[in-house]
Amino acid sequence: MSISPDDIRKMKGSRPIAMLTCYDYSMARAMDSAGIPLLLVGDSLGNVILGFDRTRNVTMQDMLRHTAAVARAVENAMVVADLPSGSYESKQQAIENSQKLLDVGAAAVKPEGKPEIAAEICKAGIDVMGHLGLLPQTAEKLGVKGKDTAEAKQIMGDAIALEKAGCFSLVLECVPEQLGKEITAAIGIPTIGIGAGRHCDGQVLVSYDMLGLFQGFQPRFVKRYANLSEEIENACRKFKEEVEKGVFPGEQHCSK
């Protein structure tokens, strides 16, 4: 039975929440089998899959294709899909594009910031995961947000507004650990941190960073649990060597 937004809400204060980004069928099957409760079809696919330097290059068509692929694989995990840059500029556009993502298999959507837009999506009966702190779609400079008092107050206010809007959870990206702790204590929905410290209700990482598949910039908050890029390179070298030496295919690999 699939995990629901209510299940995620109930995890606050009782069970730390693990979330990973996911972009394709095969990876989704592995993550679902591993028991990851939340799979985020993130617009980070623009960086790690499509090779762009910013997430703002990702389109609705990109998100629909990858969300559908992930949704076809899962049996238990809840699939959340990012609303890409430019897809939720108005109430009508936000609702229409959110519904499109639900139609291909997402259980919820995630816009960046904009509590007023999140409220309208929730009013339409669509589950929403909020996102505050660093907002990669619109940020002119990547880095920690909320270090000064005014910005921290704004993020706290937006967090409260997103809970009131009806969001079932909230991603906090690149905020000081103390601010992450204060927001987590101030709101009744789970916070899921990425570079937001140890006191959030859950943690999320970009899977290609966590698995050592992406060789680009690695933020301070990333922990690598594998080095698959090196393993893949070694496997490819071995395949090339065996083909060139006539070792592969062997008799056991030939059709009879």
* Region 138-144 average pLDDT: 91
Flag whether pLDDT at 1 surpasses 70: no
173 annotated active-site: yes
Structural contact between residues 136 and 142, judged by C-beta atoms closer than 8 angstroms: yes
Q: How confident is the model at residue 79 (pLDDT cuts 50, 70, 90)?
A: very high
Q: Give the tens place of pLDDT for each residue, 33-61.
A: 999 999 999 999 999 999 999 999 999 99
pTM (two decimals): 0.95
* Region 145-172 average pLDDT: 98
Q: How confident is the model at residue 160 (pLDDT cuts 50, 70, 90)?
A: very high
Given the residues 112, 120, 163, 173, select the one marked as catalytic: 173
Q: Give the tens place of pLDDT for each residue, 175-232.
A: 999 999 999 999 999 999 999 999 999 999 999 999 999 877 677 788 999 999 999 9
What is the set of domains in the chain, with CATH numbers?
5-225 (3.20.20.60), 228-256 (no CATH)
Token pair of 96 as six digits:
């229409």
User: Is the bond into 249 cis (omega within 30 degrees of 0)?
Assistant: yes
Q: Give the tens place of pLDDT for each residue, 114-138.
A: 999 999 999 999 999 999 999 999 9
